[in-house]
Amino acid sequence: MGFFQTNLPYLLAGISTGGQYALIAIGYTMVYGILRLINFAHGDVFMCAALMVIYSASFLPLYISVPLAIIATALLGFAIERVAYKPLRTAPRMSAMISAIGMSYLLQNLALYVTGGLTKYYPPIPYISDSIEIFGAMTKRVTVITPIVTVVLIFALVSIIKYTKIGIAMRAVSRDFETAQLMGVRINSVISATFVIGSLLAAVGSTLFFSNYTGVTPTVGGMPGLKAFVAAVFGGIGSIPGAVIGAFIIGICENLIKGLGWTTFSDAFTFVLLIIVLMFMPTGLFGEKTIDRV
Amino acid sequence: MDSNKKRDLAASVILIALLFLIITVLEQLLPKTSMIFTVLKKGSIYALVAVSMNLLNGFTGLFSLGQAGFMLLGAYTYGILTIPVSARAAVYQYYNGGIVQFALPVFAAILLAGVVAAFFAYLIGLPVLHLKSDYLAIATLGFAEIIRAIFQWDKIGALTNGSNLLRKFPIFHSTLFPFAVSAVCIGIIVLLINSTYGRAFKAIRDDEVAAEAMGINLAHHKRLAFTISSFFAGISGALLAMFQTTVQASQFKSAMTYEILLIVVIGGVGSITGSCISSFLFVACSEWWLRFLDNSDTFIGSIHLSMLRPGFRKVVFSVVIMAIVLLYQKGIMGDKEFSISKIREKLKKKKAEDE
């Protein structure tokens, strides 16, 4: 019981960061599933979403500014795909990845310019930023809300992918890009939809994440972005349930490690996990096996 | 060796000698603090690391993002081994002067910096080198992050000084020093690329399966390229430590690797001279030529340009980079090399056409 009591705050924090990583990881895994591209700019989209809330909240009430920022982030994701990835669709895979790195560099520098290099603070959102007590552990209400929001959104997403026309198109494209194109699937709108959905979820994740860790700097998106990507790889890239489970495992482990007093290694742990997974299960927990043909 | 090659070799030797002469003259004429020396020093260091990355990405087709980690290893090895014994108590003030109580000569330490980086690369390469393109990229990026975390760990602070600065190690004063070291290292890489090993690397880049069928040992050659590339990244890390006069693990972030990758891409993936040219351009633009964009008191006539304030330089710079990546995918040199004889031939052709 004593062990449980001391580690409970870390476990709770872990579940909540896990949920936030899950929302980012879906963006990675969907884009990778369709384009075979690590969208390095996704973590920066997450950061931009937070900055949009901060700036719009300075002259708008929160109940308008947060939804507005979420929509604006979706548009940002759409714009990034059109500007940075669409022209490179036929280019080698490495070019698109470099373009993603360049886009990430651009978004970070833009944020640096806008913020003037100062740390901006996320506005406290009433209700979800309030402190509450669970089994004697003090935490913010967002800790409890995050897993619920995550699960609800993922159910919504999975049903979109399963039952709607665009969802079927997405699955077809991720199975076989060229054949889907031949069958009359509009590739460009499918890819745009993927980016819009991924950015929407990242924006929701950012609202939850920064209600907990309020400081926003231009490089703040990098680490959660990489970790969410690792989560996607861990779960088997391209698989949505895999990404979610991977994200929760990483979030919980990371916070328990912090609880043990190994904070320096909480980031490194994620990558150790990544390398172990890649060595022994290269396709992750739920990934499909691919066979290389000459 | 045919006459063209001989002429090329002679021309490049003369060019390099000329470059050294110009730098020597500049150092006599201009004040030490002139921006041009900063650009030349940092540019030559970045040229070395960019070429080492190009050896992997451009010539062997291994997409690795671990360069910052290997630079960190080199920088720390150099710093730890060369801080004078008398200064150790002050540098390692929280760790009772540290456990290393000797100092090596500068060149031995630079060489060891490369060796340490290469050794770690060998170990890291064992599990990750069989991974495919983007998985390899993310795994090497992960390793760089792990190395960075380990070097900040306070339990081994007696060796690495924890998250505190390493300082007071010998540094260079003349721009010629980093130039000479980089030139020698890049020369070695060029020799390697033109050897049978280099041809094997290129075969692996073009088609792994075909290369294996031709009798090239994939695992062996990939490991070799990875280790050699990291060796030179380690040396450039040592040079960077000398340039900055201090070393701290927190500065070797993945952003550094991205910068180097962008240099390689701008110069042209698979072109050594391209990487060299673009690293000088990159450093000059980011440190020097675009400085005026950060100046908030710029006027055109009587109009105050309110956009210009600190940070605008980097925005313009990254837009330019994106434009190059999107519209000019081959970079400055493509996969060709800068050579005098080719330019001469072109000029001759043009003359013949004109006549």
Compute the average pLDDT of residues A94-102: 88
Q: Is residue A38 part of a domain?
A: yes
What does the block give as tokens for A212?
A: 């907990």
Report how far apart, in Å, the C-alpha atoms of B158 and of each of A264, B69, B101, B148 are: 17, 20, 11, 16
Chain A residues whose CB is inside 8 A of the B290 CB are none
Q: Residues with Cβ < 8 Å from B79, sequence gap 6 or more?
A: B166, B167, B169, B241, B247
User: Do A85 and A231 belong together in one domain?
Assistant: no
Judge: B142–A282 Cβ closer than 8 Å, yes or no.
no
| Structure confidence by residue, pLDDT tens digits, B230-262 | 999 999 999 999 999 888 888 888 888 988 998
| Structure confidence by residue, pLDDT tens digits, B29-66 | 878 777 888 888 999 999 999 999 999 988 998 888 99
Q: What is the Cα–Cα distance from B205 to A100, expressed in whole angstroms?
A: 22
Are the C-beta atoms of A207 and A119 separated by less than 8 Å?
A: no
Highest mean pLDDT among A22-26, A144-148, B163-167, B316-320: A22-26
Q: Does residue B168 come out as left (phi exceeding 0), alpha (psi in the -120 to 50 range) or beta?
A: left
User: Best mutation site among B321, B324, B330, B335 for testing chain A: the one with the most A CBs within 10 Å?
Assistant: B321
pLDDT interval class at B159 (50, 70, 90)? confident
pLDDT (0 to 100) of residue B301: 60
pLDDT (0 to 100) of residue B299: 63
3-state secondary structure of A174: helix
Instruction: Name the residue ranges covered by the structural domains of chain B.
Output: 36-354
| HSE-up of residue B96 (Cα within 13 Å, Cβ side) | 2
Question: Which residue has tokens 């290292």?
Answer: B185
Higher local confidence (pLDDT), B339 or A77: A77
- Nearest-Cα distance to chain B for A11, in Å, is 23
Q: What is the mean pLDDT of chain B?
A: 85
Q: What is the Cα–Cα distance from B200 to A108, expressed in whole angstroms?
A: 39
User: Do A168 and A191 belong together in one domain?
Assistant: yes
User: Do A272 and A139 belong together in one domain?
Assistant: no
Q: Is residue A194 part of a domain?
A: yes
User: Do A86 and A107 belong together in one domain?
Assistant: yes
User: Do A206 and A256 belong together in one domain?
Assistant: no
User: Do A113 and A47 belong together in one domain?
Assistant: yes
Judge: A109–B317 Cβ closer than 8 Å, yes or no.
yes
User: Do A114 and A70 belong together in one domain?
Assistant: yes
User: Best mutation site among A94, A265, A291 for testing chain B: the one with the most B CBs within 10 Å?
Assistant: A94
User: Do A214 and A266 belong together in one domain?
Assistant: no
Q: Is the pLDDT of residue A57 over 70?
A: yes
DSSP state of B276: H
Judge: B262–A87 Cβ closer than 8 Å, yes or no.
no
If one counts every other C-beta atom within 10 angstroms of the C-beta of residue A166, the result is: 15
User: Do A183 and A229 belong together in one domain?
Assistant: no
Beta strands in chain B (DSSP E): 166-167, 246-247, 299-300, 303-304
Percent of chain A whose predicted confidence (pLDDT) is above 70: 96
User: Best mutation site among B146, B209, B259 for testing chain A: the one with the most A CBs within 10 Å?
Assistant: B146
User: Do A50 and A119 belong together in one domain?
Assistant: yes
What does the block give as tokens for A259?
A: 């609880």
Helices A62-80 and A187-212: crossing angle, nearest 10°? 140
User: Do A134 and A262 belong together in one domain?
Assistant: no
Q: Is residue A196 part of a domain?
A: yes
Are the C-beta atoms of B29 and B233 separated by less than 8 Å?
A: no
User: Do A207 and A230 belong together in one domain?
Assistant: no
Chain B residues whose CB is inside 8 A of the A110 CB are 315, 318
Q: Is residue A292 part of a domain?
A: no
**Which of the residue ranges A39-53, A71-85, A106-120 would you say has the lowest mean pLDDT?**
A106-120
Are the C-beta atoms of A103 and A77 separated by less than 8 Å?
A: no
Q: Is residue A12 part of a domain?
A: no
pLDDT interval class at B131 (50, 70, 90)? confident
Q: Is residue A22 part of a domain?
A: no
B interface residues, A as partner, C-beta within 8 Å: 57, 63, 127-128, 131, 133-135, 137-139, 141-143, 145-146, 148-150, 152-154, 209, 253-255, 258, 261-262, 265, 269, 309-312, 314-315, 317-319, 321-322, 325-326, 329
Number of domains into which chain A is organized: 2
- What's the domain range around A193? 27-220
